[in-house]
Structure 1
């Protein structure tokens, strides 16, 4: 991937300080949604949750553009110079980041051109277009990054990276800050992992405000780049991504987000696609929340590999997004109910 960001040594860039996170939260105030938290107490869910645990859900699916991504996208767009605003923004994404950049660009009256995969949910593509962005479709993730590099080179647009960017991580840190303030005295916070931007920022903020809280990442077995990177001690790439959770299907870990996550994450667990499908169905039946697979990942881990470990604990999970078409959601929930 060519260098398409402002000149910055991401290998040595520092994690955001608490003062920087507070300043970012203030800058975003009134522009993004301070999403609520709700206890997972519905009787349909109770038999599947850790015995005696108090589980709290951060409803980030109610965020602007349908996911946590709006926070980092807007911080990036707020950082554009006048010249950069004139040239426009570009991004590459399976969907959520493209929607967030399209939304943030519309807020800032900046032209946006987003690159998405041919396999992207049509609802996400339509959403970007409705927000005024131009959409370019690529055959796969590698072709998408090549196309976004071409756009930067030929059109002079500023690239907003989906996770490997201090402003993007600072945005997710504002979500972690909210969690720490809304959910005091947590024993553990469980966070899904794609490229690592969400868990890096959230973990940093939560550890600064609740240092005793254990941070646990969740990856699909078919997209385990952070687990492999932790084991190797350096960012690793995947030869193949195979998961129903396209929002968690990043093909590699990268230096900055990896370093911040490495320093603040206590553990990463793996889940199967079937666990996300089952959880999508359970959460919809219990709470009428229409989660995409990635949005169900943290709760799936609490119901699965973490169930015994978290018994009797006070636990936070995040419902990180819900950008999924009605037909696709119905199809996946039906599969989940059959499990």
Structure 2
């Protein structure tokens, strides 16, 4: 298990500087929406727009952070990854930045848009059935071809990379009361929460996890990592089939609460994000807003709140279908507050 004391603000700032020549400092902007302000009892919402990061998600930070930690021998042999999409794209991008060959394993059910993105970044893509088979193939590539495995969410270097998101939002938006972050395996929230709490221990950090992929919530309840027999959510980039010790221990230490939301709530948040923020994002990036409008609403009322908008890798047709699903629920949410 990770020792939270192993991560310091000095380390986070140092890694942020190391990555700054390649990683974008994404904007933190206030979302001015009378209807949302009514819904949240005049809360002020700020969006940390990691959807504008290289590769379209925060994943570029962690992937590059890990890539830069490899030895010259490891770089020579190349890297691999297991992913539903966003992590594979980020590893492919980071490998190209570092002049390293990448062979990434992606779920055969991954959105074709994301598969094309990974290939466009220069990676060789291997398609496998979702779940354990994807990770097993990556493990085979490590064992038989000598590739280095870039984990999608677990490990100190990943957490130090994603901590830059929290560091930037705390520098850009003063006197925040809360930061809300989507939760998959925990690679994003572990870094964000560590940075936020080390800068201001009084600022709350809340995680939002899909109800159909709640490995972190279950792990926290069990006081240890768990594996899921299956996952079922439209937010496929938030659906690893397990929680793991490093990220889970940091979440337990730094995160105030992790709540779950349904796919219908996520679809509704996609609509609200489109109509109120004028942003077309993927389901994972709407999860934080879904949490704010749902289970976290009372706790965020009247507060200064940052939402991490974590990614934008979705094709137009899929986005349209999900928004149609969420339209009625979204109208009900905002009408209820009118």
TM-score (norm 2): 0.94
Partners in 2 of 1:212 and 1:14 — Cα distance?
18
Corresponding position of 2:12: 21
* Structure 1 residue 237: Cα displacement: 1.4
* Structure 1 residue 162: Cα displacement: 0.5
User: Does the CA contact (< 8 Å) of 2:189 and 2:251 recur in 1?
Assistant: yes
Map residues 200-215 of structure 1 onto 2, 5 A cutoff. 200-215=190-205
Corresponding position of 1:3: none
Corresponding position of 1:147: 137
Partners in 1 of 2:42 and 2:166 — Cα distance?
24
CA 1:330–1:267 in structure 2 vs 1: closer, same or farther (change >3 Å)? same
Mean CA deviation greater in 14-23 or 27-36: 14-23
CA RMSD in angstroms comes to: 1.3
Matched, 1:191 2:181: yes
* Structure 1 residue 30: Cα displacement: 2.2
Partners in 1 of 2:118 and 2:141 — Cα distance?
17
What runs of 5+ residues in structure 2 fail to find an aligned partner? Answer: 330-338
Mean CA deviation greater in 109-118 or 182-191: 182-191
Partners in 2 of 1:80 and 1:269 — Cα distance?
35
What runs of 5+ residues in structure 1 fail to find an aligned partner? Answer: 1-9
CA 1:141–1:31 in structure 2 vs 1: closer, same or farther (change >3 Å)? same
* Structure 1 residue 52: Cα displacement: 1.5
User: Does the CA contact (< 8 Å) of 1:44 and 1:285 recur in 2?
Assistant: no
Corresponding position of 1:119: 109
* Structure 1 residue 176: Cα displacement: 1.0
Mean CA deviation greater in 228-237 or 87-96: 228-237
Matched, 1:76 2:104: no
The partner residue of 2:147 within 135, 154, 157 is 157
Corresponding position of 2:294: 304
Q: How many residues align?
A: 329
> In the TM superposition, what whole-angstrom CA distance separates every residue of 1:256-275 from its partner, at most 9, and x where no partner exists?
11111111011111111111
Matched, 1:132 2:125: no
* Structure 1 residue 234: Cα displacement: 1.0
* Structure 1 residue 42: Cα displacement: 2.6
Which one has the bigger helix percentage? 2
